[in-house]
Amino acid sequence: MALRILTRRGFRGGVHPPENKELTAEKPIEILPPPPVVVIPVQQHIGAPGQPIVQAGDRVRVGDRLTEPGGYVSVPVHASISGIVKAIEPRPHPLGTTALSIVIEGDGQDEWSDTVVDDEAWDQLPAEEIRERIRMAGLAGMGGAAFPTHVKLSPPPNKPIDTFILNGAECEPYLTADHRLMLEYPEEIVRGMKIILRVLRPAKAFIAIEDNKMDAVRAMRQAVQREGLSCEVVALPVKYPQGAEKQLIKALTGREVPRGGLPMDVGCLVHNVGTARAIYQAVAKRRPVIDRVVTVTGRGVVEPKNLLVRIGTPFSFVLEHCGGIRDGAARVLMGGPMMGIAQFTLDVPVVKGTSGIVVLNQEEVDRRQMAVCIRCARCIDACPMGLMPTTLYHLVKAKRFEGAQDYGVLDCIECGSCAYVCPAGLPLVHAMKWGKMEVSRKLRAAG
C-alpha cells in the first residue's frame, strides 16, 4: 500500500471557491434522536419508483421494507423508525417536486426488524449474493447521484473494470460529512471497499482524498494497513469539482470518459466513501439504509453540526436540533452552494442523497445583478467538461434545443463552475438544466 500526493492539477478547468469547511470540520458526528414522524418518499434514486407493500394502519419496525422495487434499476425504501403507517400520499420532495411518500408516526420504542442481523461469513459471499443484499438494502449512491449501487456493480461483460476509485474528495464547499466518516469509521469504509473489490476484481484500486483533509488521508491509510487491503491512497490538490467522477478518473488515470459515455467505457468505476460504508452494513450486518450522515452548516445556522439522521426526518426537525435558523438567513439548500438545490419549505425530508443542509445568510448568497455577456470566456476556461456555457445558454434561451444537443448540453455535470466565474451573473446552470431536460424529453419521445 502506498501514499501518493499529486502536486499538479489533473483535469482541465475547475474553480477555487471559498471552502468554508471550518464550520464543521472538527465537529464529531452526533446521533440525532429519532423524530416523532418521518416522511419517506418511495423514490430516492435514479430509476423506477418502488411500489408500496404497506398500507395505512400497518405497524412497522426499523428496517422493515416498505416498497417493492419497480424494476431492475430500482431499490426499495425501509422504515427508519418503528410505529404506525399513518398515510401514503404525495408530499414535498427536496428535489423541488412532490412525491408519493409513506408517513410513519413513531411509537418511541425504536424497535428493529429481526431481519437486521450480523453475518459472520460476510467476506465469503459470492458476488451475486452481495449484489442482491446491496439491492434489497436500498442502496443508491450516497454521494448525491443516487444511482442504484447494485446496477453500478454489474458492468456488462464487454465493459470490464480494471480500475476502482473510492471517492473521498468531498470538494463541495461547506460539506464535511465524508471527511468525518473517514475519520470516525475508516475500518467500515475499507471493509465496504473490500466487498466492492471482491465483486469487481479490478487490477488497480485507489482511495482519493483532497489534500485539505490530510488527517483523513492518514486515517484511511492506517485502516487500509490494518485490513490488509491492496490499494493506493492518493492526496489530490484542492480544486472544484475534483469529486466529480469523470474529473477524478482523469486526475488519477489520465483517461477521459468519452462524450455521452460512462466511466465503465474507460474501464473505471467510482464509489463514494459513504456508499462503501453502507455496502459493508448491508452485506455484513444486513442493515438497510435507514440513516445517513448530514452536514448541517452555513452562517444562517445557530450551531453547525455533523449529524447521523434517520431517513425521512423533516429538515425543520434537523435544524431545531442545531439551535434553529438565525435572523437574516436568506437561503436553505439541500447540498452545498455549488450543486445544492434551494428549498421552498422546511417540511421536506432528509433522503438518501442528502449530504448536507446549508443555510446561507445574506452575505453568503450571490446577489449579482444579471448583465449582458461580455464574451470574456471565463466560463469556457472554468468548465471541466470543455463546453461553451454561454453559447449553450443562448441556444437554450432561444429554445434551439437541437443546437444545444449538438454543443453537448447533455455532457454538462451541473457543477456550477461557469456560473461561479461569470461576471455577468448569467443563470447558466438553470439554462443547462432546462436544456438537458428538454433534450432528454425529445430523445425519449423519439424512442
So what's the pLDDT on residue 45? 86
Report the percentage of the chain scoring pLDDT > 70.
Answer: 98
Cell numbers of 444, please?
Answer: 425519449
For the chain, give the percent of residues with pLDDT over 90.
Answer: 89
Q: Is the dihedral of CA 128, 129, 130, 133 positive or negative?
A: positive
Rounded Cα distance, 223 and 187, in Å: 5
How crowded is residue 347: how many other Cβ atoms within 10 Å of its Cβ? 12
pLDDT of 125 reads 96
DSSP 362: T
What is the pLDDT at residue 220? Answer: 97
Compute the distance between CA of residue 313 and CA of residue 310 in angstroms, rounded to an integer. Answer: 6
Distance CA 428, CA 419 (A): 6
Over the chain (447 residues), what is each successive 10-residue block's mean pLDDT?
57 94 98 98 90 98 96 95 98 94 97 96 95 96 86 95 97 97 98 97 96 97 95 94 94 92 95 97 98 97 98 98 94 95 95 96 83 94 96 96 95 95 94 94 86
Q: What is the pLDDT of residues 115-128, one digit of tens each?
A: 999 999 999 999 99
Q: What is the pLDDT of residue 363?
A: 87
pTM: 0.94
Order of all β-strands in the sheet with 83-92 = 37-41, 98-106, 83-92, 59-60
Given this model, what pLDDT does residue 285 score?
Answer: 97
Cα 407 from Cα 393, distance rounded (Å):
11
Whole-angstrom distance, CA of residue 116 vs CA of residue 123: 17
pLDDT in tens, 79-90: 999 999 999 999
| Closest to 381 measured CA to CA, from 370, 390, 373 | 390
Q: What is the pLDDT of residue 111?
A: 97
Q: What is the pLDDT of residues 431-444, one digit of tens each?
A: 999 999 999 999 98
Q: Hey, what amino acid is at 292?
A: R
Residues contacting 400, CB < 8 A, separation 6+: none
